[in-house]
A = this chain, B = another copy of it.
Amino acid sequence: MLQRIDLLSKLEAQGIRLTAQRRALVETIQQTAGHLDVASLLEKARKRDSKIDRATVYRTIELLKKLELIDELDLMHLNGEKHYYEVRTQKDHLHLTCFRCGSVVEFTSSTFERLKREIAKENLFNIQVIRLEAGGLCQHCAEKNEGKN
């Protein structure tokens, strides 16, 4: 499993104090393994504090994105235009979304790391966020996919 950063300690290291609601949101994000959309995050966080509002969720996500502690994904817009969020990992990784079954596979690769170094060096570009997503058919669905799209 990919090593995810610890949000609370990073926030503390930056001297950022959290309100109770934001702490509940951060803890919910930290403790969720997969890819969270706003509606799911709100629902889960409300189990800790039923008063949390959608606007607070968006505002907290904005903060965490700005601090580069979470990443925003589209997952190929498989389920509409909403975004998904995940805790940053030590190594960047890419997401493979199956258009048929909706499964998402994560994948780290030294080639990806090399590509990032090339981007920085050849384009003299200072990467803050990088997002590599692919859509297609996972192995299982490709096998079932004889003749039919």
A interface residue numbers (CB < 8 A to B):
72, 74, 76-77, 81, 94, 96, 98-99, 105, 107, 109, 111-112, 114-115, 118-119, 122-139, 142
Contacts and interface: CB of A to CB of B under 8 A. Distances in A.
A45 to B, nearest CB: 23
Nearest to A92: B134
A16 to B, nearest CB: 15
Nearest to A133: B131
Contacts of A127: 96, 134-136
Given A112-B115, A115-B109, A128 B133 contact: no
A125 B136 contact: yes
Contacts of A99: 128
